[in-house]
Amino acid sequence: MRPTHKIGIAMAAVATCATASVVPGMVPGAADGGARRSPSQGQSACPQRWDGGAIGGWVPAPSGLDGAADSLVPGSPVSALICAYPGNTRSGGLAGSRTLTGQATAMAHDLGYLPVGTEGGEIPCTLMAGPATNYLVRFAYPDGRGLWLGSAEEVNSCVTTTNGTALSHVYVGDSLTAAYRTGTWRLDQPERPCPGSLGRRGQNARMVPEGPVKVVVCRIGRHDEPARRTEYGTKQAHELAAALNSVAAGPSRNACHHLRGGSGGRFEVLFGYADGPPASVRVTTACRPSANNGLLEGHLDDSVRDRVVQLAPP
């Protein structure tokens, strides 16, 4: 299970301005048309080697930008330099780079809304062997400052994405590989039985970030059954968000301790916002803790649990 890999609302890319510098054969599928060499020196250059001790978890230097502790990519950068380091090890040589200009704002918008923390949490991972590619992305800002982001594509999808201050366990490796190869940014939307979310900034601090304008409540059936869903407006969204936020919550361990004699259902509660991705809370009434947003978990009392069940489709 990928507890933080949920379906998000991606900002559609509307421009495809990109340049690439690629070492042929190192990253299959990477474009080489219009290539130029990456600069070998200077703050804006790709480091010649990935030098991290963990998959995805390294940047050359943390950013001093305001907001970097609360968002992976704060503000409005004007370009994004993607540096690729393929291989099965956590360190490796530079294979090539691609610079996105027209789509840097959309990329920053999507990545900047991902839920973040300042410490690593417990997430279950599979242990399959397979190819991996580490990435460094340098976002450049109009005033000349920059922000490095480290992430990776790897077969287990258990990757830390970090700007050196904040980190996220939401997996974006496939999206980074596609942007590197094609010059087009699009945040991947993993398939789910009910519309879910990659998560939303602020969910490390509260179960549901403030300001939802609607809520969808899904009842999750067996694997061979489609999820059923009902949608409500702002009033119900605010009331249900307040109820879920009233629950004592702590860091998520993404575990379920089945209650003796417990029965009930599984629900996905999806809060929509005027801008950015939705925030999702998974409710499993036969588990303790019964509510989990991927970063926080807590056990619902009877009144909150019953409210979720009442709003769900039969």
Residue 9 in any domain: the answer is: no
Instruction: Please check whether residues 73 and 174 belong to one and the same domain.
Output: yes
Instruction: Please check whether residues 171 and 230 belong to one and the same domain.
Output: no
Q: Are 100 and 183 in contact (CB under 8 A)?
A: yes
Cα–Cα distance, 219 to 313 (Å, whole number): 6
Instruction: Please check whether residues 111 and 177 belong to one and the same domain.
Output: yes
Instruction: Please check whether residues 245 and 173 belong to one and the same domain.
Output: no
Residue 28 in any domain: the answer is: yes
Give me Rg for the CA atoms of the chain.
20
Residue 13 in any domain: the answer is: no
CA distances to 33, 56, 136, 152 from 94, rounded to whole Å, are: 18, 14, 10, 14
Residue 2 in any domain: the answer is: no
Instruction: Please check whether residues 175 and 239 belong to one and the same domain.
Output: no
Strands 132-140 and 146-154: antiparallel
Cα–Cα distance, 225 to 81 (Å, whole number): 43
Instruction: Please check whether residues 156 and 84 belong to one and the same domain.
Output: yes
Domain membership of residue 277 as a residue range:
214-311
Residue 125 in any domain: the answer is: yes
Residue 187 in any domain: the answer is: no
Instruction: Please check whether residues 265 and 165 belong to one and the same domain.
Output: no
Residue 300 in any domain: the answer is: yes
Question: What CA dihedral angle connects 200, 201, 206 and 212, to 10 degrees?
Answer: -60
pTM metric for this prediction: 0.76
Task: Give the per-residue pLDDT at 141.
Answer: 96
Residue 203 in any domain: the answer is: no
Instruction: Please check whether residues 41 and 164 belong to one and the same domain.
Output: yes
Strands 257-258 and 161-162: unpaired
Instruction: Please check whether residues 100 and 242 belong to one and the same domain.
Output: no
Structural domains counted in the chain:
2
Domain end call among 182, 199, 228: 182
Which three-class secondary structure state does DSSP give residue 173? Answer: helix
Per-residue pLDDT of the chain (314 residues; tens, 9 = 90+): 333 333 333 333 333 345 544 433 344 444 333 233 333 333 469 999 998 888 888 999 998 899 999 999 999 999 999 999 997 667 789 999 999 999 999 999 999 999 987 565 555 566 666 788 999 999 999 999 999 999 999 888 788 899 999 999 889 999 999 999 999 999 986 566 576 677 898 898 999 999 999 999 998 876 666 778 899 999 999 999 999 999 999 988 777 887 765 556 889 999 999 998 899 999 998 888 999 998 899 999 999 999 999 999 98
Instruction: Please check whether residues 26 and 136 belong to one and the same domain.
Output: yes
Domain end call among 133, 159, 182: 182
Instruction: Please check whether residues 50 and 133 belong to one and the same domain.
Output: yes
Among 156, 183, 178, smallest CA distance to 169 is for: 156
Instruction: Please check whether residues 220 and 300 belong to one and the same domain.
Output: yes
